Structure 1
Amino acid sequence: MDSSPFLRLRGVVKSFGTFTALDRIDLDINEGEFFTIVGPSGSGKSTLIRLLVGMDDLTSGEIRLRDKRIDDTPANLRPTCMVFQSLALFPHMTVGQNIEFPLKLRKEAPDRRKARALELLDLLRLPQSYYDKRISQCSGGEKQRVALARALAFDPEILFFDEPLSALDYRLRKTLEKELKDLHARTGKTFVYITHSLEEAMVMSDRIAIMKEGRIEQISEADEIYGAPVSRFVAEFMGEVNLFGVTAGGDGTVTSDVLTVRPGATLAKAPSGARGLLMVRPEYVRFADDGAGFDFSLTGTLHGEYALGSRIQYEIETAAGMVTVEKLREDRRAVAEGEQLTVGFNAANTHFIDEAA
């Protein structure tokens, strides 16, 4: 049985003159996977997907699909399809005509084209009556579903998505995130998704790749990247975070210039003698008067309190910088700006980032 990855990139480089947009990318994507590539503007994620779909040429390296090299195959001959942010629907056509367009290019018979379009309307949970509806009469969410139906009409082996939800309002985006995840499960297709939205990636993906300056910084499942980032960049990119400089001792103990460390507190995975960052997410930081003892604590003054829907965030100004505490709204506590507070957390809720790694 062939155990090679479905889609494989090795040593992929893309340069524009003296600027290297992608620097020796190695990447394996499994068949049927929902794989998301995330990164800030300029990280190279859009350049990468343009290479994968065949819109740009490599400078060096290779791309293989089912172990067959495809980087020299024209885009229109690859078994792939792209769903763009702009959707690129034909406004003068009906919904049905848009969905049927790739089948018409293949010279499929009209009755077969219509039958397939109606199947895809069902799959995308649009009424079959939409077949004759003008694209200009469709809402943003309906247009998004039509674009997905048209992409699936190609029957591609891989669907590529270039930030397709970024122009939608928040509520519709949340709905379509769930629908995309469900569609992926129902079709069994391989989805490769580009976004700058961490939330989208966390909701939908089997695995996530974090990009920085043309390189892949980390690839893993969402929970692993959130809880055990490999670098400061990934830790900060994956949401609110508190980072403290610490040094690990040979017996797992730890010392810090900014934290008060409980005697006997240890970090199980910190390399002996390593200087690094102790990471703790805001939801694991507590106020000292909540009645718990802590492995690590520090004191500061309340800088601000912020209501974020179901959550409340508190910013505490300390010698280590601003520390963020997060609570559920139901656990909100009365505090005053400028009030002196002690906060703490336990070793089990931390992650050590080795700065020398």
Structure 2
Amino acid sequence: MSTWTSWHRPLLAFAASMAVLTVVSAVGLAVDDRVVAGAPVWFKPFKFSVSFVAYALSLAWMLSLLPRFRRAGWWGGTVVAVTSAIEMILITGQAARGRRSHFNNETPFDKAVFDTMAVTVVVLWAATLLIAALLFRAKLADRASAWAMRCGAVLALTGAALGFVMAQPTPEQRTQMERGTADVVGAHGVGVTDGGPSMPLTGWETTGGDLRIAHFVGLHALQVLPFALFLLVTLAPRFTRLADERVRLRLVLVACGTYAAVFALVTWQALRGQALIHPDGATLGAAAAIVAAAAAGTWAALRTTPSASPPVGVSDSAHDGNELVA
């Protein structure tokens, strides 16, 4: 197991800068009452900086575990750190100006800012794809850890790709572009205009679909799935079943499949113009099916016969603990 001193340093430095920006943005939220596109002007820098702290730390840790291709991984992580920093500088700069950063086509300068962000996001996505490819090629000793990271990286890439969908102009905006009057190009809302009634804290739309929900769910698979494995390892000394590496691997695969299904569900819901908090019968039925499949998969994984001896790192006393399934 790696220590934090072996983690990717440029990503650690970027995460530290985002932690500082989180505090600065929080102060901005408290003292600056300006509103842009229906949200406090410092809300986007705050939200993005918190997200980037988690994202950068996750990648920094994963890169430290690569047994091979470490140089390629270092360059990939460095590109992620640099392009992410550029994006955050632009987002924060627009917030300080009281202007929207995303989809802004109002002035040549605003358009140049968003076009630059679009380029940095493409480069960032490509660098993350490289890291995901390295994780798939790496032969890590613990298969559960390997698959938690691999699935997390793939889902994060898929979630990030929704940003490209949001950047596409709506039919109404296409008409405005033809007339040369489009101040905004792109949207996260589906079936509603951006900036309408929204949920507290997240700012997600409450009257229509919102692709930012799926974007968020996909990106943070990079933290959720490894954390799920961490919980399994933490509980292993107390529960015999979890002391078996094969059981942990199967539970991780169930978690990956369940998370992917939830991501697909919220994406489908948003594309149908449906708010997260107002699901219809089809959405509820799909959610129930996901829960049932997850429960069945978990039960099947826990029914696996434990191996005769505990894996390395789990004490023999684990076999004296309670079993999750009789």
Q: TM-score, normalised by structure 2?
A: 0.26
Give the structure with the higher percent strand. 1
Which structure has the larger Rg? 1
Q: TM-score, normalised by structure 1?
A: 0.24
